[in-house]
């Protein structure tokens, strides 16, 4: 296998939100991982665990409280010229859970898709601009007749395709998809995921794919990171994570995925995660440690030894 190149390096990233009276919400609390060129990294965890904030901070929508994000070796949050900033923004795009809320209802599909083309001056003439719009519509499985319509005329799945076309318009390298299928019917989810996979193959895109459940994310992700209350508790290749989950929180998440067979589903046991089960001592140092190659778990020194003995 070819040497993996790091596109994004996230180092001890923190994002704290002040909420008054000297209180802060530690939405992201010291997260470290890399995203390789051309891969899909799935980011999972319950609602409120900090997935969206992690994505927004990586892309530079928020200034980080602490830590660092490198994109192709360049710090996302460091001061740069407006030209450099514009270029960085072009290379990193986002698609959202609710394509309707994120598409301006008063703009035509053509204008929505071409917004980035205009901002970045990617088309020299009106004809070239429309040609790009038509190509993009076809790329995402729509057609040129859709260009002059408005978002409300489309189904949820089609709107998500418009959101994808808009992101692709500026030829990004990296796309953060923040729960892009959570609002769609199950029958439509696979179509959107398949489209994303096809685009990734064709364009060599790198994805951070955020999801709150583990069922669809396995299918699209090369590796998966699990978040719990602002921390990443486990990271491994997708297959490995499903086969050998180590952190008790990951085990609980996996046990909550419904099984296709109703009979097995009826008798299956769900596990519940109780953070107090770790019995950490006061001030005990928790670190993200590698148990087997590429498989990381947030754990104490004592747990590390135990996990090593169990899984190596």
Ligand X SMILES: Nc1ncnc2c1ncn2[C@@H]1O[C@H](COP(=O)(O)OP(=O)(O)O)[C@@H](O)[C@H]1O
Q: Which does 48 bind (CB under 5 to 8 A by kind): Mg ion, ligand X, none?
A: ligand X
53 binds ligand X (CB under 6 A): yes
Here the tokens at position 169 are 């318009």
Enumerate residues 40-59 that contact Mg ion by CB under 5 A.
52
Q: In 72-222, where do the E strands start and end?
A: 74-75, 92-95, 174-178, 206-211
Of 52 and 57, nearer to Mg ion (C-beta) is 52
Task: Looking at residues 122 to 141 of the shown chain, list those that interact with ligand X (rule: CB under 6 A).
Answer: none
Q: Work out whether 25 is an interface residue with ligand X (CB under 6 A).
A: yes
Question: Hey, how many other C-beta atoms are within 10 angstroms of the C-beta on 145?
Answer: 9
Q: Are 68 and 8 contacting, i.e. CB atoms less than 8 angstroms apart? A: no
Nearer to Mg ion, 52 or 93 (CB): 52
Minimum separation from the CB atom of position 166 to ligand X (A): 21
| 221 touching Mg ion, by CB under 5 A | no
Asked whether position 97 contacts ligand X by CB under 6 A, the answer is no
Nearer to ligand X, 111 or 213 (CB): 213
The CB-of-226 to ligand X minimum distance in angstroms stands at 11
Place of tokens 């709107």: 159
- Examine residue 17 and tell whether it contacts ligand X (CB under 6 A): yes
193, 216 contact by CB (below 8 A) = yes
> Residue 234 in contact with residue 250, Cβ under 8 Å?
yes
State yes or no: residue 223 binds ligand X (CB under 6 A).
no
Cα separation, 244 vs 235, in Å, equals: 11
Sign, Cα dihedral of 118, 122, 125, 128: negative
CA-to-CA distance for 153 and 300, rounded, in angstroms? 53
Nearer to ligand X, 90 or 212 (CB): 212
- Contact footprint for Mg ion (CB under 5 A): 52
- Contact footprint for ligand X (CB under 6 A): 17, 25, 27, 45, 47-53
């Amino acid at each position: 296998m070819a040497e993996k190149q790091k596109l994004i390096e996230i180092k001890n990233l923190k994002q704290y939100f002040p909420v008054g009276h000297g209180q802060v919400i530690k939405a992201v609390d010291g997260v470290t991982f890399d995203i390789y060129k051309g891969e899909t990294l799935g980011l999972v965890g319950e609602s409120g665990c900090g997935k969206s904030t992690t994505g927004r901070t990586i892309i530079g929508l928020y200034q980080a409280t602490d830590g660092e994000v490198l994109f192709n070796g360049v710090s996302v949050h460091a001061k740069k010229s407006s030209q450099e900033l514009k270029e960085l923004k072009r290379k990193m795009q986002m698609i959202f859970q609710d394509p309707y809320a994120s598409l301006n209802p008063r703009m035509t599909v053509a204008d929505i898709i071409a917004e980035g083309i205009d901002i970045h001056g990617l088309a020299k003439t009106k004809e070239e601009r429309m040609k790009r719009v038509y190509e993009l519509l076809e790329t995402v499985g729509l057609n040129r007749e859709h260009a002059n319509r408005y978002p409300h005329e489309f189904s949820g799945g089609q709107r998500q395709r418009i959101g994808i076309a808009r992101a692709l318009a500026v030829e990004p390298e990296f796309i953060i998809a923040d729960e892009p299928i959570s609002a769609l019917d199950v029958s439509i989810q696979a179509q959107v995921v398949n489209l994303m996979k096809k685009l990734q193959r064709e364009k060599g895109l790198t994805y951070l794919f955020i999801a709150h459940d583990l069922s669809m994310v396995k299918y699209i992700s090369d590796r998966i990171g699990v978040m719990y209350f602002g921390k990443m508790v486990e990271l491994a290749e997708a297959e490995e994570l499903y086969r050998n989950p180590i952190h008790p929180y990951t085990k609980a998440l996996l046990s909550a995925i419904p099984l296709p067979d109703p009979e097995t589903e009826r008798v299956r046991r769900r596990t519940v995660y109780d953070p107090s089960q770790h019995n950490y001592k006061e001030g005990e140092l928790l670190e993200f440690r590698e148990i087997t190659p590429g498989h990381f778990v947030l754990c104490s020194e004592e747990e590390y030894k135990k996990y090593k003995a169990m899984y190596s």
